[in-house]
Structure 1
Amino acid sequence: MALINVKTKEVQIKIVYYGPGRGGKTTNLEYINHTYRDQIKTEMVSLKTHDDRTLFFDFLPFDVGRIKGFDVTIQLYTVPGQVKYNATRRLVLRGVDGIVFVADVQKAQRAKNIESLNQMYENLETYNLDLFKMPVVMQYNKVDLGKSNTPILASEILQRDLNSILRVPAFEASAITGGNVIPTLKKIISITLASIQDQLF
């Protein structure tokens, strides 16, 4: 639920990057942080442990202009990837307005992608949020690994596994090189803003 301040004419939107461990969620935000450095008002907060790259979240707001006279600020978060941090993942989803699901295209990660998507659905339900009514963009990350002979899943398989029912926009991406990172971001911002327009007076 977007945070709307009628007095100051500000709206704050929360977008969460969700997906299996080491799938590229943090790398996405690091690339965005580097690319949009001049537009970002705060430092990116990254909490790392020895066994997971992101323990809590990365926090990265930047302005996208005005809508219906309201100043818009986007907050970008990642969740920790490992299953044992599910309570933290659930906490980060509180108040979410839009989600980028970052799937790992490596064949070895196929089951973890599906498990993570199912867990996200369950975590959203704890806040009475319906995944099928939520702005979501799929990102199939690490396609660059195909060049190094790492076995990767075809997009058709990922679409069937993760997006055959949701039918949301999907991008093949390489967060490490920046491939389709910004188009993914722009798409989730645009569909999230469209979904909250009705909340603005």
Structure 2
Amino acid sequence: MALINPKKREVQVKIVYYGPGRGGKTTNLEYINRKFKKRILNEMVTVKTYGDRTLFFDFLPFDIGEIKGHSIKIQLYTVPGQVKYNATRRLVLRGVDGIVFVADSMDLRREMNIRSLQNLKENLETFNKNIFNIPLVMQYNKRDLADEGIPILSEETLQKDLNSRLNAPYFQASAIRGDNVAATMKKIIALTVSSLRKKLQ
């Protein structure tokens, strides 16, 4: 649940980018960090694990108003994608308010996407959270690889594998080019803030 700081009259909202290793979570945050430099309050923090990374930074969006007279501060996090860092992933999910699931569109990553989504569901359950009740946006990343002749999964396959039951909003994206990175982020912020407003009423 979002942290409310009555002294600062601020609501801190935590959004986590989740998904398989090398799927583009870090690239999403790096793009946001460059593109919205003026709205970012501090340096992006990178915690490196061997061969993987966890990132986070505070993001200050405007034009989303207030919650009960409190200003809104967004924190964006990524989790390490590799299976061996599951304890870290679980730790990063603690207190999460909204999630972007970054799926890898490469054909050969199909099974990893499915396993990673299942892992997200299980890790949320350790905090008594249900994947069906949390603000969630799907991002089908690396669509640009099709231009290089690399086999990618169709939108239909990704939807069937990952989103047929969840029915979450989704975007086809290329984090490396920035396609739909901002749109994904804006959608998850809007869903999360709307959900928190309802809870706090």
Q: Give the letter aligned to residue 145 of structure 2.
A: L
1:60 equivalent to 2:45? Answer no
Match of 1:57, SS state, is strand
State how far apart, in whole Å, the 1-side matches of 2:90 and 2:99 are. 13
Give the superposition deviation at 1:49: 4.0
Q: Percent identity?
A: 60
Q: What do the CA deviations read for 1:6-46 (whole angstroms, capped 9, x no partner)?
A: 34321000000000000000000000000110110010011
- RMSD between aligned residues: 1.2
State how far apart, in whole Å, the 2-side matches of 1:19 and 1:76 are. 14
Is contact 2:138–2:168 with CA below 8 Å preserved after alignment? yes
Q: What do the CA deviations read for 1:161-196 (whole angstroms, capped 9, x no partner)?
A: 000000000000000000000000000000000000
Match of 1:48, SS state, is strand
State how far apart, in whole Å, the 1-side matches of 2:91 and 2:50 are. 21
Task: Provide the residue aligned with 1:8 in structure 2.
Answer: 8
1:140 equivalent to 2:130? Answer no
Task: Provide the residue aligned with 2:78 in structure 1.
Answer: 78
Q: What do the CA deviations read for 1:128-185 (whole angstroms, capped 9, x no partner)?
A: 0011000000000000000001010000000000000000000000000000000000
Name the TM-score, length of structure 1 as normaliser.
0.95
Name the TM-score, length of structure 2 as normaliser.
0.95
State how far apart, in whole Å, the 2-side matches of 1:46 and 1:139 are. 22
Moved over 4 A (4+): none
Q: Give the letter aligned to residue 144 of structure 2.
A: D
Q: Give the letter aligned to residue 60 of structure 1.
A: D
Task: Provide the residue aligned with 1:130 in structure 2.
Answer: 130
Q: Structure 1 unaligned segments of length 5 or more: list them.
A: none
Task: Provide the residue aligned with 2:27 in structure 1.
Answer: 27
Q: How many residues align?
A: 199
State how 1:94-105 maps to structure 2 within 5 Å: 94-105=94-105
Is contact 1:18–1:78 with CA below 8 Å preserved after alignment? yes
State how far apart, in whole Å, the 2-side matches of 1:15 and 1:182 are. 14
